């Protein structure tokens, strides 16, 4: 009789790694692109409506749709993650995809929260990441209109901060404690986690 135990969640891990292999076909992974670690370029506001930029926005929107179709997950992609090092992201909300261009944070909450995140460029590492509970920021939409975000949804505010970090060459791994990193394997993991207040 064997006297050792096999690791847990072996079936779920196959799905997780198969998904990572599929989405890694169009999402750059850390180490594959120097741009992931560099600040991306501002987009000239008078060019937002140009064919060239509209095609870039459409491409990243399609990448997010494809990611969600393959995995059922995925909240945001920033240009640099798919080879376009310019300051814009596409964010998923149940109602629509939001494009934020050249965002500038104008206000942040006093309190911060810790919550485990996965970055599409470092998939499937779960990184408990401390971020502001909410931020306010201005940005341009894909028509070139100035908009202001002041919503308080915890997940969306986290996704925005995660994506804006990408525009500055920062990945959640840089903010987390490596001793707390987890390789995704437990299919129930996200059903148990809660936002944790941090000092
Ligand atoms: Zn990311």
Average pLDDT over residues 1-17: 91
Residue 3, in any domain of the structure:
no
Per-residue model confidence as pLDDT tens digits over 146-164: 999 999 999 999 999 999 9
Burial track 19-50 (b if 16+ CB lie within 10 A, e otherwise):
bbeebeebbbbeeebebbeeebeebeeeebee
For 56-113, write each residue's pLDDT tens digit.
Answer: 999 999 999 999 999 999 999 999 999 999 999 999 999 999 999 999 999 999 999 9
Give the pLDDT of residue 199: 80
Tell me the pLDDT tens digit for each residue of 179-188: 999 999 999 9
- Which structural domain range is residue 21 located in? 10-198
Would residue 136 show up in a list of annotated catalytic residues for this protein? no
Instruction: Look at residue 53 in the predicted model and tell me its pLDDT.
Output: 98
Q: Looking at the domain assignment, is residue 97 inside a domain? A: yes
Q: How far apart are CA 51 and CA 49, in angstroms?
A: 7
Query: Residue 2 domain-assigned?
Result: no
Kindly calculate the radius of gyration of the chain based on its CA atoms and give it in whole angstroms. Answer: 18
Model pLDDT for residues 166-176, shown as the tens digit of each residue: 999 999 999 99
Q: Which of 125, 151, 150, 133 is nearest to 196 (CA)?
A: 133
| Tens digit of each residue's pLDDT (9 = 90 or more) over 39-51 | 999 999 999 999 9
Ligand 1 ion: Cβ-proximal residues, 5 Å cutoff: 119
User: 118-150 pLDDT, tens per residue?
Assistant: 999 999 999 999 999 999 999 999 999 999 999
The overall pTM is greater than 0.85:
yes
Domain count for the chain: 1
Query: Given a cut of 80, is residue 1 above it in pLDDT?
Result: no
| Structural domain includes residue 72 | yes
Structure tokens at 163: 């994506």
Cα–Cα separations (whole angstroms), residue 37 to 29, 30, 57, 172: 11, 9, 21, 12
Average pLDDT, the chain: 97
- Catalytic residue of the set 86, 136, 163, 184: 163
Residue 129 Cα to ligand 1 middle (Å): 12
Q: Is there a domain that residue 90 lies in?
A: yes
> Does 4 reside within a domain?
no
Asked if residue 5 belongs to a domain, the reply is no
- Tell me how far the alpha carbon of residue 1 lies from the centroid of ligand 1, in angstroms: 45
- Answer yes or no: is 57 within a domain: yes
Q: Say which CATH number the domain at 191 has.
A: 3.90.45.10
């Amino acid at each position: 009789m064997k006297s050792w135990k096999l690791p847990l969640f072996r079936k779920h891990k196959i799905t997780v790694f198969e998904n990572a292999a599929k989405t890694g076909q169009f999402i750059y992974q850390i180490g594959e692109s120097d741009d992931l670690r560099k600040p991306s370029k501002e987009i000239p506001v008078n060019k937002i409506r140009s064919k060239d930029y509209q095609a870039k926005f459409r491409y990243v929107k399609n990448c997010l749709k494809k990611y969600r179709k393959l995995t059922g997950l995925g909240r945001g992609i920033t240009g640099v993650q798919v080879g376009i090092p310019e300051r814009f992201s596409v964010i998923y909300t149940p109602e629509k995809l939001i494009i934020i261009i050249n965002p500038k944070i104008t206000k942040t909450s006093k309190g911060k929260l810790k919550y485990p995140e996965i970055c599409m460029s470092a998939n499937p590492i779960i990184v408990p990441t401390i971020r502001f509970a909410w931020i306010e920021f201005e940005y341009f939409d894909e028509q070139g209109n100035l908009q202001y975000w002041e919503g308080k949804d915890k997940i969306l505010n986290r996704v925005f901060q995660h994506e804006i970090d990408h525009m500055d060459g920062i990945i959640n791994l840089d903010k987390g404690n490596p001793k707390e990193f987890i390789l995704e394997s437990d299919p129930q993991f996200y059903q148990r986690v809660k936002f944790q207040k941090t000092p």
